[in-house]
Structure 1
Amino acid sequence: MRIMHAERRGGPEVLTLAEVPDPVPGPGHTLVDVEAAGLNFADVERLTGSYLPPALPFVPGSEVVGRTADGRRVLAFAERAYATKALVEDPLEIPEELPAGAALALLVQGLTAWHLVRTAARVAPGESVVVNAAAGGVGHLAVQLARESGAARVIGTASTAGKRDLVLELGADAAIDGAADGYAGRVLEANGGAPVDVVLDAVGGPVFDAALHALAPFGRLITYGASGGADPRPIDPGLLSERSIAVGGYWLGAHLRRPGSNAAAPLKELIELTLSGRLRPTTGAEYELTQAGQALADLAARRTVGKVILRNR
């Protein structure tokens, strides 16, 4: 089989093509022919060694759409996904009519968005929800899932007019500039002058601090990333208790490692919502397996929009 692997740490340029023997599945694993693999920014970070540095040689990727030996088309987490074959655990059979890009958008990003809305923030009918970076891979799905959960008002933040237009197309009631300066005022204005019940934040830094001041009593701020940088300032416990607000975090990796965790039920719901047209995963460019380095370079440089995949033709 063919793989794209790195024999040294570095950027996307260190990936090279190699021919290796097919992996042999052990207990609990299934070998699949890879139709497409999903790309994530974490793949870039692992190549450089800045995030969970792997042993070398290293084959990136953690998610595939593929076909089992008995012909089932499946979606699954995988190790060594940048390949023509991969070993997977707990594969979920998916319909033929579900495009590979959409399916892969529902795995890491879709499950994260689902759990942010349902598990971490526990969005209730009638509440107001702000999604920071709402045009992003997780954010654009969280906007739609907040609406599905009965939120009375959904507000998305984004950095450009074009991204804000996309957020509105996806069903947000308002789309605003997400810059930290003036953030709380814009959020309150977009919510009819009232503070909001929930903020889902992947930006961090000064935006995180500003979001705290946009929360209503008993509001919740859930952080799941820090693309804007870490904020070294401590959270004032007095602010939390005075307004009865809560701050929490969420990471899908930790959730999936919990005993008894099961990704199948939320994934099935996400797939049903997508096939019915009620959820629209944003899909982007498709690259050949041998173009993995260019694909990751484009992803890292923010030249892509939507879920980027490597496809085996």
Structure 2
Amino acid sequence: MRAIIMKEFGGPDVLQLQEVPDPSPRAGHLLVDVTSAGVNYADVHVRGNTYLAPVSLPYTPGNEVVGTTADGRRVVALTSGGGYAEKSLVHKRAAWDVPDDISDHQAATLALQGNSAWHVLFTTARLMAGETVVIPAAAGGVGSIAVQLARQCGAKVIALAGTEERRQLALELGAEAVVDSSSPNDLAERIKDAAGGPVQVALEMTGGKTFDAIVDALAPRGRLAVYGYASGEIAQVSVRALLERSITVGGFWLPSLYADRNALPTSMKALYGWVRSGSLQLIAGGTYALREAAQAHRDLESRTTTGKLLLDTNG
């Protein structure tokens, strides 16, 4: 089969298309003929050797796939790598049948980014109706879904985005107000101005000075849910700041739910229903041929893409 192989860590050019053996069967797993593989910022961290879970080289990135099983089922699945390939071995517990009225693009978007948005909002941040929540990268894959889910639950959304186009998209998706996140300077004050005061809940995935600014924007007893560090800088939390305002900080990493028998099936069922009803709009960010994986990474890192990026294994 064809697959994207990394033999070293580095820039996008380390992603090389090669012929490799098919995955070997394993108990409890399904062999999927992949039609689409999702591209996520976690893959950028893997490529740069800054991911939470270390990987051994050579390595095939990719943590979500859509495709068919040997018995003809169309499934979407989460993987621990191996997604950028024509075939992928997936655990049965992290694979779900795709209903006929859900497209491959919709299924791929929901598996990693939809589930992440759901659980970072409702499992980690415990967002409730009537609260104000800050959502970063609000036009991106996770952010664009989180804006809509938060609005559906009755929260007021302050969306962060780095360009005017992306801020306009966040407003169209239901954000109450938008804030330019291209610079952390005065970001806390600009968030509070947009919200009409400190906020009860915030999501954070940038790190560095942006992390500090978002902590500063939280109200006493505020809750912060951290699910990434796109800047590459892992912030050092000021315990003094947490104590002074009784702030709660929770981390979220989707693989921590893979072994849970109820969490992801529950959110996938709900997300399918919201898409089916028209309550959740999924943004297509572009589809690349498998051989164009490096370009997909360049575009994702440029912070100019919106929505979900996919690799087509036929290309």
TM-score w.r.t. the length of structure 1 is: 0.89
> Relative to structure 1, is the Cα distance of residues 234 and 115 closer, same or farther in structure 2, using a 3 angstrom cutoff?
closer
**C-alpha separation between the residues in 2 aligned to 1:197 and 1:146?**
13
Could you say which residue in structure 2 is the equivalent of 1:298?
A: 299
**C-alpha separation between the residues in 2 aligned to 1:100 and 1:272?**
15
**C-alpha separation between the residues in 2 aligned to 1:201 and 1:187?**
13
- Which amino acid in 1 is paired with 2:32? V
Does structure 1 retain, via aligned residues, the 8 Å contact 2:211–2:235?
no
**2:192 aligned counterpart, secondary structure:** helix
Once the two structures are TM-superposed, the CA of residue 289 in structure 1 deviates from its matched residue by 1.7
**What is the aligned-residue RMSD (CA, Å)?**
2.2
Could you say which residue in structure 1 is the equivalent of 2:228?
A: 225
Could you say which residue in structure 1 is the equivalent of 2:265?
A: 264
**C-alpha separation between the residues in 1 aligned to 2:232 and 2:70?**
45
**C-alpha separation between the residues in 1 aligned to 2:25 and 2:113?**
27
Could you say which residue in structure 1 is the equivalent of 2:174?
A: 171
Does structure 2 retain, via aligned residues, the 8 Å contact 1:47–1:53?
no
- Which amino acid in 2 is paired with 1:99? S
**2:23 aligned counterpart, secondary structure:** coil
**C-alpha separation between the residues in 1 aligned to 2:19 and 2:237?**
51
Q: Does residue 106 of the first structure (1) align with residue 121 of the second (2)?
A: no
**1:88 aligned counterpart, secondary structure:** strand
Which structure has the larger Rg? 1
Q: For 1:181-222, what per-residue CA distance to the aligned partner results, in whole angstroms no more than 9, with x for missing partners?
A: 22233222222x332111111122222222223222321122
**C-alpha separation between the residues in 1 aligned to 2:275 and 2:178?**
23
Query: What are the equivalent positions in structure 2 for 1:4-83 lying under 5 Å apart?
Result: 4-51=4-51, 52-78=53-79, 79-83=81-85
- In structure 1, stretches of 5+ residues that fail to align are none
Q: For 1:73-125, what per-residue CA distance to the aligned partner results, in whole angstroms no more than 9, with x for missing partners?
A: 11001341121111111220012332222221212221111111111111111
> Relative to structure 1, is the Cα distance of residues 290 and 236 closer, same or farther in structure 2, using a 3 angstrom cutoff?
closer
Query: What are the equivalent positions in structure 2 for 1:140-155 lying under 5 Å apart?
Result: 140-151=144-155, 153-155=156-158
* 2:123 maps to which of 115, 119, 133: 119
Does structure 1 retain, via aligned residues, the 8 Å contact 2:136–2:143?
yes
Query: What are the equivalent positions in structure 2 for 1:187-202 lying under 5 Å apart?
Result: 187-191=191-195, 193-202=196-205
- Which amino acid in 2 is paired with 1:142? A
- Which amino acid in 1 is paired with 2:153? S
Q: For 1:134-188, what per-residue CA distance to the aligned partner results, in whole angstroms no more than 9, with x for missing partners?
A: 222211111111112221x211111221111010000111112234322233222
**C-alpha separation between the residues in 1 aligned to 2:48 and 2:76?**
27
Does structure 1 retain, via aligned residues, the 8 Å contact 2:166–2:306?
no
Could you say which residue in structure 2 is the equivalent of 1:245?
A: 247
**C-alpha separation between the residues in 2 aligned to 1:206 and 1:76?**
35
> Relative to structure 1, is the Cα distance of residues 20 and 304 closer, same or farther in structure 2, using a 3 angstrom cutoff?
same
Once the two structures are TM-superposed, the CA of residue 282 in structure 1 deviates from its matched residue by 1.6
- In structure 2, stretches of 5+ residues that fail to align are none
Size of the aligned set, in residue pairs, is: 309
Does structure 2 retain, via aligned residues, the 8 Å contact 1:167–1:175?
yes
Once the two structures are TM-superposed, the CA of residue 233 in structure 1 deviates from its matched residue by 5.7
**C-alpha separation between the residues in 1 aligned to 2:220 and 2:28?**
47
* 1:95 maps to which of 93, 99, 103: 99
Once the two structures are TM-superposed, the CA of residue 243 in structure 1 deviates from its matched residue by 2.9
Q: For 1:227-246, what per-residue CA distance to the aligned partner results, in whole angstroms no more than 9, with x for missing partners?
A: 34537665143x43443322
**1:266 aligned counterpart, secondary structure:** helix
**1:75 aligned counterpart, secondary structure:** strand
- Which amino acid in 1 is paired with 2:273? E
**C-alpha separation between the residues in 1 aligned to 2:91 and 2:8?**
27
> Relative to structure 1, is the Cα distance of residues 8 and 132 closer, same or farther in structure 2, using a 3 angstrom cutoff?
closer
**C-alpha separation between the residues in 2 aligned to 1:57 and 1:232?**
30
- Which amino acid in 2 is paired with 1:198? V
Q: Share of identical aligned residues, percent? A: 46
Does structure 1 retain, via aligned residues, the 8 Å contact 2:33–2:68?
yes
Could you say which residue in structure 2 is the equivalent of 1:131?
A: 135
**C-alpha separation between the residues in 1 aligned to 2:75 and 2:310?**
16
TM-score w.r.t. the length of structure 2 is: 0.89
Once the two structures are TM-superposed, the CA of residue 25 in structure 1 deviates from its matched residue by 2.0
